């Protein structure tokens, strides 16, 4: 872990587990324990979890995230709404929610409010508009991104997901829909990147926790 980076820029102590071996992940976790530091593990599947000391980790099956150490008390009321096109998009949505919670930000979740049944969205619209930031999570054609950005004045962050088949497979149709939206002011992140969306939100909220104590960026070169 690059503890230096955390000290300097206020980014989160997070580990993307997918391309790492169990041994590499275990070493990082042990090192964090020795330094008495909190840690967020993302894209950690059950197979790799089995190599770790599960007792010390707060693991969540849906989002495939694990947290080492205590969560800060959540800030109330929630400033971030997470809106989910379909039940299958919950994995990415919860990755975002857990990443926010790790930094002390609460979030409200609205599931299965896709455009095929627009009244579901309409029923929740006033609630959603009450949040400063909206994270919209959807696969397939991603029409919800444009609909939401046209309905709320909040900052809207689009997380396209890889849910879908045929031309939707992989998430590129949803990604392009978010980028090409006729509704202005959509901020887009990579496919399935709930973690990244949470960090866009955190930067927006100015909430990253070490900022005040950050060291000067760059030492003199030799």
Q: Is 70 in the site for its own copies (CB under 8 A)?
A: no
Closest to its own copies by CB, 16 or 55 = 16
Q: Is 111 in the site for its own copies (CB under 8 A)?
A: no
Edge-first strand order for the sheet with 39-42 is 14-16, 39-42, 65-68, 57-60
Distance CA 118, CA 114 (A): 7
- For its own copies, the binding residue among 49, 108, 189, 194 (CB under 8 A) is 189
Q: Is 88 in the site for its own copies (CB under 8 A)?
A: yes
Q: Is 193 in the site for its own copies (CB under 8 A)?
A: yes
Q: Is 68 in the site for its own copies (CB under 8 A)?
A: no
Q: Minimum distance between the CB of residue 67 and its own copies, rounded to whole angstroms? A: 16
Do residues 171 and 141 touch, judged by C-beta distance below 8 A? no
Distance CA 102, CA 118 (A): 32
C-alpha triplet 29, 33, 38: angle, nearest 5°: 80
Closest to its own copies by CB, 14 or 101 = 14
- For its own copies, the binding residue among 9, 26, 37, 109 (CB under 8 A) is 9
Q: Is 35 in the site for its own copies (CB under 8 A)?
A: no
Closest to its own copies by CB, 49 or 159 = 159
Piece of 45-53, 67-75, 103-111, 159-167 that binds its own copies (CB under 8 A) = 159-167
Q: Minimum distance between the CB of residue 105 and its own copies, rounded to whole angstroms? A: 13
Sign, Cα dihedral of 1, 80, 89, 142? negative
Tokens representing residue 26 in the block: 């275990």
**Other beta carbons less than 10 A from residue 101's beta carbon:** 19
Distance CA 10, CA 140 (A): 34
Piece of 45-53, 63-71, 73-81, 177-185 that binds its own copies (CB under 8 A) = 177-185
Q: Is 37 in the site for its own copies (CB under 8 A)?
A: no
Say which residue the tokens 């829909």 belong to.
177
């Amino acid at each position: 872990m690059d503890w230096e980076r955390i000290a300097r820029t206020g980014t989160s102590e997070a580990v993307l587990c997918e391309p790492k071996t169990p041994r590499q992940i275990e070493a990082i976790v042990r090192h964090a324990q020795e330094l008495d530091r909190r840690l967020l593990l993302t894209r950690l599947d059950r197979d790799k979890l089995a190599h770790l000391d599960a007792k010390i980790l707060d693991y969540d099956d849906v989002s495939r995230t694990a947290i080492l150490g205590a969560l800060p008390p959540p800030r109330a009321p929630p400033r971030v709404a997470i809106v989910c096109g379909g039940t299958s998009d919950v994995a990415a949505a919860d990755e975002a929610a857990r990443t926010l919670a790790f930094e002390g930000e609460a979030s409200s979740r609205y599931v299965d409010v896709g455009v095929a049944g627009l009244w579901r969205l309409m029923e929740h619209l006033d609630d959603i508009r009450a949040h400063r930031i909206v994270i919209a999570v959807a696969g397939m054609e991603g029409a919800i991104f444009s609909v939401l950005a046209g309905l709320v004045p909040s900052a809207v962050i689009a997380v396209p997901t890889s849910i879908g088949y045929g031309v939707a497979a992989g998430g590129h149709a949803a990604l392009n829909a978010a980028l090409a939206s006729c509704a202005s002011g959509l901020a887009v992140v990579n496919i399935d990147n709930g973690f990244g969306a949470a960090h866009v939100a955190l930067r927006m909220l100015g909430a990253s926790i070490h900022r005040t104590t950050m060291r000067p960026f760059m030492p003199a070169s030799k």
